[in-house]
Amino acid sequence: MIYPTEVVIDSQPVRWQDVTAVARHQAPLSLSAAAWARIENAQAIVQHIVTSQQRAYGVNTGLGALCNQTLEGEQLAKLSSNTLLSHACGVGEPLSDEQTRAIICCAIINYSQGKSGIQRPVVEALLALLNRGITPRVPSQGSVGYLTHMAHVGVALLGLGEVSYGGQIVPAAQALAAEDIIMPTLGAKDGLCLVNGTPCMSGLSCLALADIHRLLRWADVLGAMSFEALRGQIAAFDEEILALKPHPGMQLVGRNLRTLLAGSEVIASSLGIRTQDALSIRSIPQVHGACRDQFAHAAQQIETELNGATDNPLLLGTPEHYRIMSQANPHGESVAMAADLLAIVLAELGGIAERRIDRLINPLVSGLPAFLVSNPGVNSGMMIAQYVAASLCAENRQLAQPCVVDNYVTSALQEDHLSLGTGAALRLHRAIANSTQILAIEYLLAAQAFEFLKVERFGEGTQRAWQLLRQKVTPYDQDRWLAPDIATSAAILADERLLAEIIPF
């Protein structure tokens, strides 16, 4: 995957790769003149509302259940700062820097739609945080969909709390002073704009998409290695047969497997040794392909949200002819459902990998030494590595239970249906970590199985994958400490560049 080295928000759709580039790879983020013009137009509408004293939610009224409380004069600016202070009440361990950066990036994308009404200097301050490497410390827990996470970003702009800066955790005021960042005086609606919308779940989901996209490709590589080590029957991947069930992901995985296994002496010499393989071996195109199709659907949902206006209220038109509309665009149902779907994808991807792992170590079905060690008995080999994979699969199944169907009532019955999309997106990162470890174990075991297959030529892609691991992890002649090897294998799976060395897909 090639990520952009610079992201400019203009009028074209933003993709999850853009958010990942900014959040993870520190690509500079900027706005075009047209985007700034949209922001300034919406702010002009806010100013017109204030001077005309038209009643508008969040501009000159209280928030949530206090929406009928009218405010005026200095109360409008005070409401904005108070909104940040009162909403910054998250708990738990802080998000990683890249997670917080993704959230800030998505908030700026939302403001660039020109429907929010936030002041330009506030957006400029958020851009400065990203581009100068100042990342607020944001507690991970406490969001039923939005509000708390961006509030912690907002109070950092006020000089409160701590930030990550220059490789250290320092007071926010210290980092802002070091970079000459001065927070403008907050005005009407600024505070609400800073906490509103769906940037939290969208940003977290964009990073999850990047990781899952990589794991889907590695799963094909490692599935092909296990298939080869178990002397699978290649007819199951026949192009004409797979085309009779034309799911796009299934066709893609079939092509990948045929490419990875091309030229394998193991596959050629194994033709006809059994009538058919176990489902965990012969159904790789069907299962991995379904995961790819669901990934594509979820990515479309997340990117649609990413390019939408998700504030409440939203501002339409010009200062001379405008509408200000209260509605429910901050409700993140689509992203929550997409995140739930991706949790199922990860559970299935890891689940079928664990079944392949089990077959690799079981001499009753593998045709290989028990637990993939030459002298079993005194050596336990890879026995307990499969236990670990099973444990992680069990946790992934728990994490795959849907978040979006749960519900609570907040704000004195005013907010009485919640998406819980941020929790769903955060959960994905735990499932990604689990799935990475499961695939890392499959990588170790499939490579170890190759040591017992006395041939000169494996598949074109599987040979490269085997050799890549062997540059860092030596074969097993007897038991040794396995945990560091699993960690090394997982580190390889995290490297996009190494994946590209095996097969470019």
Please give the backbone phi and psi of residue 165, each rounded to the nearest 5 degrees, phi first.
-155, 125
What is the structure's pLDDT at 377? 83
Q: Per-residue DSSP letters for 57-124?
A: TTTSB-SGGGTT-B--TTHHHHHHHHHHHHH---EEEEPPHHHHHHHHHHHHHHHTTS-S---HHHHH
Q: Which domains does the chain have, with CATH numbers?
A: 7-196 (1.10.275.10), 205-502 (1.20.200.10)
What is the structure's pLDDT at 413? 66
CA–CA dist 385, 277 (Å, integer): 23
Please give the backbone phi and psi of residue 475, each rounded to the nearest 5 degrees, phi first.
-65, 165
Q: Which three-class secondary structure state does DSSP give residue 201? A: helix
Q: Which three-class secondary structure state does DSSP give residue 168? A: strand
N-terminal to C-terminal alpha carbon distance within the chain? 9
What is the structure's pLDDT at 407? 80
β-pair partners for 344: none
Q: Strand 139-141 and strand 91-94: pairing?
A: antiparallel
Q: How wide is the angle at C-alpha 484 spanned by C-alphas 431 and 93, nearest 5°?
A: 40
What is the structure's pLDDT at 416? 73
CA–CA dist 392, 407 (Å, integer): 27
Q: Provide block-wise average pLDDT over 10 residues at a time, the chain (505 residues).
A: 94 97 98 98 93 81 70 81 92 97 98 97 98 97 85 96 97 97 90 93 97 98 98 98 98 97 97 95 98 98 97 94 91 94 98 98 94 88 95 97 84 74 94 98 98 93 97 95 97 93 78
- Report residue 223 as tokens: 């599935």
What is the structure's pLDDT at 160? 96
387: Cβ–Cβ under 8 A, 6 or more apart, which residues?
Answer: none
Q: Per-residue DSSP letters for 355-366?
A: HHHHHHH-HHHH
Q: Is the peptide bond before 285 cis (omega within 30 degrees of 0)?
A: no
154: Cβ–Cβ under 8 A, 6 or more apart, which residues?
Answer: 84, 87, 88, 191, 194, 195
Instruction: Count CB neighbours of 67 within 10 A.
Output: 15
359: Cβ–Cβ under 8 A, 6 or more apart, which residues?
Answer: 226, 230, 278, 280, 281, 365, 366
Q: How wide is the angle at C-alpha 29 spanned by C-alphas 121 and 113, nearest 5°?
A: 60
What is the structure's pLDDT at 156? 97
